[in-house]
Amino acid sequence: MYSMVTTAIARGLESVYIQAEADVSDGMPLFEMVGFLSSEVKEARERVRTALHSCGFKIPAKRITVNLSPADVRKSGSGFDLPIAVAVLAALGEVEAEFLRDTLVLGEISLNGKIQSIRGVLPIVAEAKKRGIKKCIIPYANLAEAKIVPEIEIWAIEDLRELVSYLRGRTYIEKTPIINMEEARQKQTEPDFSEINGQDSVKRACEVAVAGMHNFLMIGPPGSGKTMIAKRIPGILPPMTIEEKMEVSEIYSVCGILPQNGVLIRERPFRSPHHTISPNGLSGGGIVPKPGEISLAHNGVLFLDELPEYKKSTLEILRQPMEDKEITLVRQSGTYRYPSNFMLVAAMNPCKCGYYPDRTRCSCREGEAARYLGKISKPLLDRIDICVEAPLICYEELTQKNKRNESSGNIRNRVSAARERQQHRFRQKEISCNSQIPSKDIETYCGLNEKQNRYMKEIYQKMEISARGYYKIIKTARTIADLDDCADIQMHHLNEAICYRIQDQKYWE
Amino acid sequence: MEKKWKYQYWMKNIPGIGNKKLKKLVEYCGSAQEVYGLTKRQLQKVEGIRACDAEAIAESRNHFDLEKNVQILRETGISMITIEEEEFPERLKNISDCPYAVFYKGRLPKEDEKTAAIVGARMCSSYGRAVSLALGEKLAACSVSIVSGMAYGIDSFGHWGAIRGRGNTYAVLGCGADICYPAGGKELYDKILQSGGILSEYPPHTNPAPAQFPARNRLISALSDVIIVVEAKNKSGSLITADFALEQGKDVYAVPGRLDDAQSAGCNELIRQGSGIITSFEGLLTDLGLEPDKSGAKDKILKKSLEKEEALVYSCFGLQPRNMEELLKETKIPAARLADLLVKLQIKGLVEEYFKNHYRKK
């Protein structure tokens, strides 16, 4: 007898649909599997056979052939065990094929018939819904993430025998996911901007950067609070929309690091990989590429502390994803696409010893500061819109107790208002914030009046700004105007934006 | 003069024969050409010339191709002047270890030209930079030429100040005058050639070597009427210059620094030992018998053209540079507004941003 079960594997955030076919016929007793299988899928044969046996099913002395089609897609991952088992059972006539129509089956089996969790359930289920699949059979351990997708029937299975009973006609009773209460309760108290004394100029620059999703660089001596400020940036980012939450959760699901509390990821990601990270760690990689840090920071912040300490080859990787907002990884097994729309926040010391231009403490030689910045490639610096210095704070300021600093909530309100203005402006467009305005549309969205044009020309010549630098200034000025609730860019917005520009290294003595 | 070069250049290049012996040889014979004609025995008759020296001279005479070498010298475009000549700078003749020859590009300071040396640390603070620039400019405006060593830091800024003040400036190098050392000072090197000269006691193509730099310091002090040390740590090379100056009977002035400031420790020590102290530019000019110009008035006119808040920010700037955070605290202007004001001041050319968010008076 012949049977067919639908399953899927995640390739990036998309899924590839695979049909698991089984045929039982007369001939030499044999259990064979074909269909371009990787070794973990080949091993499924032993797992399935033993699991069927331990669940009390007799495997007849017949020729059993399993095919995973299409045959030209390499099958990898552990989610094929359950579909193969179900297909074999259906071919043997143990279960009703009727229940498998428009159904997606996913799961790994252990030898005693228990169903184990797999990775990437969320994006697969989300796409299944779009494709018109009515029902998904998944491991119980993955129920929490599958539940995120509304309006699709989910059967969460703990045991193979249990599944067989449903497939013989028993009614499935809705289950609730195990919620790791520990984790759910561990809602961390977020760090707040009000805890930082001083650094007002950095805070302001930070607000502007966040409001327009401008990439942000802080330069300052060690201990001046660069990392503290970076850690507080997620707290002033506007809340994620449901689509954004979904995107982030899908990426985390592919990595298998979705928290077990049964809800979408609500907080914008803040990723701060150490500078020893490998290029693949940042971009995503492996034989079957998993998302890297740039994708895990999608819709959030990627914080690179001690920027010049990263390997050059690692930093160069950032260029294309920063431009395209996604990364395409091509491997033998296929092409994987992961989104990577993050805000880059970087921090660095001004020089090797960290104290330039304070000559009483800095022992670097002439031009060392410029050389230190020179370690970062020009194209990467070109993508940083806002640069600011975080100076050392004096003791009195640091220890001031009852100073009223602005809270993250207040800043977040202003940022959200500015974002709304941008979303309204770009409602017909692909882009969502000022930093993404392509140069050809600058004139449309950031028009300057005649006086301002003349002024910018003067600036352009006097300060020797590059063409790219010029556009960055105008885009930043647009964001500052949005924060100020101004329809048009004003002169002081331009000036403030100029102040945040990143200087050419030749101006660093 | 150039005709004599080939013998003089040979003299200068004899290994193991220093300035003192060269001077004695010339005094005995009258000119380099005649030294060239002496036999070994005759050479030994000269006071201070030992048998081994005579041997060295004879040896180099056999190996040194006069025509070829003088050709090389000519090709570098560098002039040579020796103590044999009348025109040899009087200031150099008077020092104890007077160089036999000086190589120069551009021109040498005239005998009646007033000169001052501005020397100090390579790694200087912004304050040191501002002071040396201002000193250079103000002295140059009073027709005082600035002599220094073209090293990074104070030396360079002293030269730049003179160039800003449209005065003359001379650099004494510790390598061949055709070599721009430090290499990063090429722009300054070219500028100095336009408004003065580069000189050295070492033949062209001589590479910089550590021992040559203290030696050139004696020429810096010799060429200057007064020596100003702007920023020097203890054991700084600038203190060597100051020592030479005292030996040569020149006035030494030092710019005072704060007590705990390692950058100025050498200067403060000089002051303790009794050197002149610079407490104001006007005071220094008066001390040197010069007429201070009224550049302060320019500042006042500028200030009048500023908006109230611009003027408030501008008034925070003195010789010391300021960073954004300090200005925020001092003026209590919100960060966004301050950023706007600082750019305005930059556009007006009053302030410059020398490092991210660090500003100083231009």
Return the axis-axis angle of helices A81-91 and A160-167, rounded to nearest 10°: 40
Omega before residue B182 within 30° of 0, cis: yes
Between the alpha carbon of residue A170 and those of residues A96, A115, A142, A162, A384, the distances in Å are: 11, 19, 22, 9, 60
CB contact, 8 Å: B354 with chain A?
yes
pLDDT at A508: 46
CB contact, 8 Å: A391 with chain B?
yes
For the segment B190-238, what is each residue's pLDDT rounded down to a tens digit?
Answer: 999 999 999 999 999 999 999 899 899 999 999 999 999 999 999 888 9
Provide, as residue numbers in chain B, all residues whose Cβ is less than 8 Å from the Cβ of A403: none
Point out the residue among B262, B324, B358 whose CB comes nearest to the CB of A360: B262
Please judge whether B184 and A367 are an interchain contact, meaning their C-beta atoms are less than 8 angstroms apart.
Answer: yes
Least Cα separation, residue A431 to chain B (angstroms): 27
Between the alpha carbon of residue A237 and those of residues A73, A192, A241, A271, A477, the distances in Å are: 41, 12, 12, 14, 19
CB contact, 8 Å: B333 with chain A?
no
Tell me how far apart the alpha carbons of residues B337 and A445 are, in angstroms, rounded to a whole number: 24
Q: Which residue ranges form the domains of chain B, and what is each CATH number? A: 1-75 (1.10.150.20), 115-287 (3.40.50.450), 295-361 (1.10.10.10)
The CATH code of the domain at A2-167 is 3.30.230.10
DSSP collapsed to 3 states, chain B: CHHHHHHHHHHHCCCCCCHHHHHHHHHHHCCHHHHHHCCHHHHHHCCCCCHHHHHHHHHHHHHCCHHHHHHHHHHCCCEEEECCCCCCCHHHHCCCCCCCEEEEEECCCCCCCEEEEEECCCCCCHHHHHHHHHHHHHHHHCCEEEEECCCCCHHHHHHHHHHHCCCCEEEECCCCCCCCCCHHHHHHHHHHHHCEEEEECCCCCCCCCCCHHHHHHHHHHHHCCEEEECCCCCCCHHHHHHHHHHHCCCEEEECCCCCCCHHHHHHHHHHHCCCEECCCHHHHHHHCCCCCCCCHHHHHHHHHCCCHHHHHHHCCCCCCCEEHHHHHHHHCCCHHHHHHHHHHHHHCCCEEEEECCEEEEC
Nearest to B349 by CA among B337, B338, B361, B331: B361
Residue contacts between A and B (CB atoms, under 8 Å): 97
Tell me how far apart the alpha carbons of residues B166 and B146 are, in angstroms, rounded to a whole number: 11
List the Cα angle B130/B155/B219 in 5-degree steps. Answer: 145
Point out the residue among A198, A495, A503 whose CB comes nearest to the CB of B343: A495
Please judge whether B354 and A367 are an interchain contact, meaning their C-beta atoms are less than 8 angstroms apart.
Answer: no
Provide, as residue numbers in chain A, all residues whose Cβ is less than 8 Å from the Cβ of B329: 198, 397
CB contact, 8 Å: B343 with chain A?
yes
Please judge whether B324 and A503 are an interchain contact, meaning their C-beta atoms are less than 8 angstroms apart.
Answer: no
Least Cα separation, residue A397 to chain B (angstroms): 10
* Rg, C-alpha atoms of chain B: 24
Point out the residue among B325, B334, B346 whose CB comes nearest to the CB of A198: B325
Write the Ramachandran bin of A408: left for phi over 0, alpha for psi from -120 to 50, otherwise beta.
alpha
Least Cα separation, residue A404 to chain B (angstroms): 15
CB contact, 8 Å: B126 with chain A?
yes
pLDDT at B163: 92
CB contact, 8 Å: A203 with chain B?
yes
Contact A117, A126 (CB under 8 A): no
Locate the chain B residue with the closest alpha carbon to A370.
Answer: B355
CB contact, 8 Å: B74 with chain A?
no
What does the pLDDT average to over B324-331?
Answer: 88
* Rg, C-alpha atoms of chain A: 28
Point out the residue among B125, B182, B339 whose CB comes nearest to the CB of A359: B125
Other C-beta atoms lying within 10 Å of the C-beta of residue B39: 10
Please judge whether A360 and B261 are an interchain contact, meaning their C-beta atoms are less than 8 angstroms apart.
Answer: yes
Please judge whether B123 and A366 are an interchain contact, meaning their C-beta atoms are less than 8 angstroms apart.
Answer: yes
pLDDT at A268: 87
CB contact, 8 Å: A350 with chain B?
yes
Note if the pTM is more than 0.90: no
Other C-beta atoms lying within 10 Å of the C-beta of residue B294: 7
Point out the residue among A356, A391, A502 whose CB comes nearest to the CB of B323: A391
DSSP A305-335: ESGGGS-HHHHHTTHHHHHHSEEEEEETTEE
Point out the residue among A200, A360, A393 whose CB comes nearest to the CB of B263: A360
pLDDT at B40: 85
Residue B142 pLDDT exceeds 70? yes
Point out the residue among B125, B326, B342 whose CB comes nearest to the CB of A499: B342
pLDDT at A261: 61
Enumerate the CATH 3.30.230.10 domain ranges in chain A, comma separated.
2-167
For the segment B62-119, what is each residue's pLDDT rounded down to a tens digit?
Answer: 888 888 888 888 888 899 999 988 889 999 988 888 999 999 999 999 999 999 999 9
pLDDT at A444: 86
Least Cα separation, residue A382 to chain B (angstroms): 16
Please judge whether A462 and B342 are an interchain contact, meaning their C-beta atoms are less than 8 angstroms apart.
Answer: no
For the segment B190-201, what is each residue's pLDDT rounded down to a tens digit?
Answer: 999 999 999 999
Locate the chain B residue with the closest alpha carbon to A369.
Answer: B355
Enumerate the CATH 3.40.50.300 domain ranges in chain A, comma separated.
193-424
CB contact, 8 Å: A204 with chain B?
yes
> Does CATH number 3.40.50.300 belong to domain A193-424?
yes
CB contact, 8 Å: B346 with chain A?
yes
Q: Mean pLDDT over all residues of chain B? A: 88
What does the pLDDT average to over B158-172?
Answer: 92
Write the Ramachandran bin of A223: left for phi over 0, alpha for psi from -120 to 50, otherwise beta.
left
Contact B119, B229 (CB under 8 A): yes
B264-268 long-range Cβ contacts below 8 angstroms, 24+ apart: B264/B231, B264/B232, B265/B232, B265/B233, B265/B234, B266/B229, B266/B232, B266/B233, B266/B234, B266/B235, B266/B236, B266/B238, B266/B239, B267/B229, B267/B230, B267/B231, B267/B232
Locate the chain A residue with the closest alpha carbon to B349.
Answer: A462
Provide, as residue numbers in chain B, all residues whose Cβ is less than 8 Å from the Cβ of A349: none
Tell me how far apart the alpha carbons of residues A299 and A326 are, in angstroms, rounded to a whole number: 11
Least Cα separation, residue B336 to chain A (angstroms): 6
CB contact, 8 Å: B324 with chain A?
yes
The pairing of beta strand B251-254 with beta strand B276-277: parallel
pLDDT at A507: 46
CB contact, 8 Å: B61 with chain A?
no
Which residues on adjacent β-strands are paired with residue A336? A329
Between the alpha carbon of residue B36 and those of residues A257, B22, B58, B261, the distances in Å are: 89, 12, 9, 55
Place of tokens 């993250």: A408
Please judge whether A496 and B343 are an interchain contact, meaning their C-beta atoms are less than 8 angstroms apart.
Answer: yes
Least Cα separation, residue B316 to chain A (angstroms): 17
Provide, as residue numbers in chain A, all residues whose Cβ is less than 8 Å from the Cβ of B339: 201, 204, 495-496, 499-500
DSSP A174: P
Please judge whether B355 and A199 are an interchain contact, meaning their C-beta atoms are less than 8 angstroms apart.
Answer: no
Query: Phi, psi (5° rounding) for residue B104?
Result: -150, 155
CB contact, 8 Å: B261 with chain A?
yes
CB contact, 8 Å: A369 with chain B?
yes
Instruction: Dig out the tokens for A377 from the structure.
Output: 């490639």
Nearest to A376 by CA among A321, A312, A322, A282: A312
pLDDT at B69: 86
Assign B297 a pLDDT band (cuts: 50, 70, 90): low
pLDDT at A188: 59
More confident residue, A178 or B247: B247
Q: Per-residue pLDDT tens, chain A, 509 aa: give them.
A: 899 999 999 888 888 999 999 999 999 999 999 999 989 899 999 999 999 999 999 889 999 999 999 988 888 888 999 999 999 999 999 998 888 999 999 999 999 999 998 888 989 999 999 999 999 999 998 888 888 888 899 999 999 999 999 999 888 888 887 766 555 555 556 788 888 888 889 999 999 999 999 999 999 998 888 989 998 998 898 888 888 888 998 899 888 888 766 667 888 889 999 999 999 999 998 888 889 999 999 999 999 999 999 998 999 899 899 888 899 999 887 889 999 999 999 999 988 888 888 777 787 777 777 888 888 888 888 889 999 999 888 777 777 776 778 888 899 999 999 999 998 999 888 888 898 888 888 888 888 899 999 988 888 888 878 888 888 899 999 999 999 998 899 999 999 999 998 876 544 44
pLDDT at A339: 93
Instruction: Dig out the tokens for B224 from the structure.
Output: 């200057």
